[in-house]
């Protein structure tokens, strides 16, 4: 590899191209340390997609209206996912297998949510698993450099302003608020349960 040939990049180069620290960290961590990493920009894009999937799952857990109760099968599924994650890391830091355990769990529990089988009592265990995962990979919270210091309260106030504009049929203003938030790294999603938002 040689920088003069254009196939060598420093961390500063990647940040200048718009890639966030967590995307770079994810791509580096996704390959077990004993294996060579085939670095590509497609790989960085795939890492960004994976992080979006993880954050969207966390957002769904935070905002979903779940029926009361606890599905014991999903309690067991959460325990199994945690065990698989820990065992993969204990196996000479096999990060690829650890991530596979996380995404299999997300797939299974998303399916359960769609079917109405994921209940309110299952959410704390899912959150605990996500927190445990993020204590190792540290990617669920967006970099502070991506939001221009906009606080959660500021975002909620803007969303309230947008909702008021929509109610008064001032759709131009509502669209402008969405665009203003997007420019500051805030993505809105209109759902049947209300507006969800996340930091991009």
Is it the case that residue 53 has pLDDT exceeding 70? yes
Q: How far apart are CA 25 and CA 21, in angstroms?
A: 6
Asked if residue 4 has pLDDT above 80, the reply is: no
Contacts of 162 (CB under 8 A, 6+ apart): 173, 174, 177, 178, 188, 195
Q: Residue 79: what pLDDT? A: 97
Higher pLDDT, 12 or 97: 97
Average pLDDT over residues 187-192: 85
> What mean pLDDT is reported for the chain?
87
**Percent of the chain residues topping a pLDDT of 90:** 43
> At 154, is the pLDDT very low, low, confident or very high (cuts 50, 70, 90)?
confident
Q: Rounded CA gap, 117 and 34, in Å?
A: 40
Average pLDDT over residues 153-172: 86
Given a cut of 80, is residue 177 above it in pLDDT?
Answer: yes
Q: How far apart are CA 54 and CA 119, in angstroms?
A: 19
- The SS3 of residue 135 is helix
Comparing 13 with 94, the larger pLDDT belongs to 94
* Dihedral over Cα of 102, 103, 108, 114: its sign: positive
Query: Higher confidence at residue 173 or residue 109?
Result: 109
Q: What is the pLDDT of residue 3?
A: 52
- Residue 146 confidence class, pLDDT cut points 50, 70, 90: very low
Cα 105 → chain centroid: 14
pLDDT at 145: 44
The pLDDT of residue 5 is: 59
Q: How far apart are CA 71 and CA 86, in angstroms?
A: 23
Per DSSP, helices labelled H in the chain are: 11-16, 21-29, 41-63, 72-90, 95-114, 123-137, 152-167, 171-183
**The pLDDT value given to residue 111:** 96
Whether pTM > 0.75 for this model: the answer is no
Residue keyed to tokens 């909620």:
156
Radius of gyration over every alpha carbon of the chain, rounded to an integer in angstroms: 20
pLDDT of residue 115: 95
- The model's pLDDT over 87-136, given as tens digits with 9 standing for 90+, comes to 999 999 999 999 999 999 999 999 999 999 999 999 999 999 999 999 99
The values of phi and psi at residue 117, to 5°, are -95, -15
Q: What is the mean pLDDT of residues 166-195?
A: 86
How far, in Å, CA of 182 to CA of 130, rounded? 26
């Amino acid at each position: 590899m040689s920088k003069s040939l254009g196939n060598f990049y420093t961390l500063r180069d990647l940040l200048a191209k718009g890639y966030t620290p967590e995307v770079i960290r994810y791509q580096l961590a996704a390959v077990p340390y004993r294996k060579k990493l085939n670095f590509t920009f497609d790989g960085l894009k795939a890492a960004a997609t994976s992080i979006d999937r993880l954050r969207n799952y966390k957002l769904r857990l935070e905002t979903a209206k779940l029926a009361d109760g606890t599905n014991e099968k999903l309690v067991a599924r959460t325990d199994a996912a945690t065990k698989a994650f820990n065992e993969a890391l204990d196996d000479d830091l096999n990060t690829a297998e650890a991530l596979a355990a996380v995404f299999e769990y997300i797939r299974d529990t998303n399916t359960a949510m769609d079917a109405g089988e994921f209940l309110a009592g299952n959410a704390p265990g899912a959150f605990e698993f996500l927190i445990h995962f993020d204590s190792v990979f540290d990617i669920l919270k967006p970099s502070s450099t991506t939001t221009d210091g906009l606080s959660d309260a500021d975002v909620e106030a803007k969303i309230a302003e947008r909702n008021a504009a929509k109610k008064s049929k001032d759709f131009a203003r509502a669209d402008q608020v969405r665009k203003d938030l997007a420019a500051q790294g805030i993505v809105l999603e209109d759902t049947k349960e209300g507006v969800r938002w996340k930091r991009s």
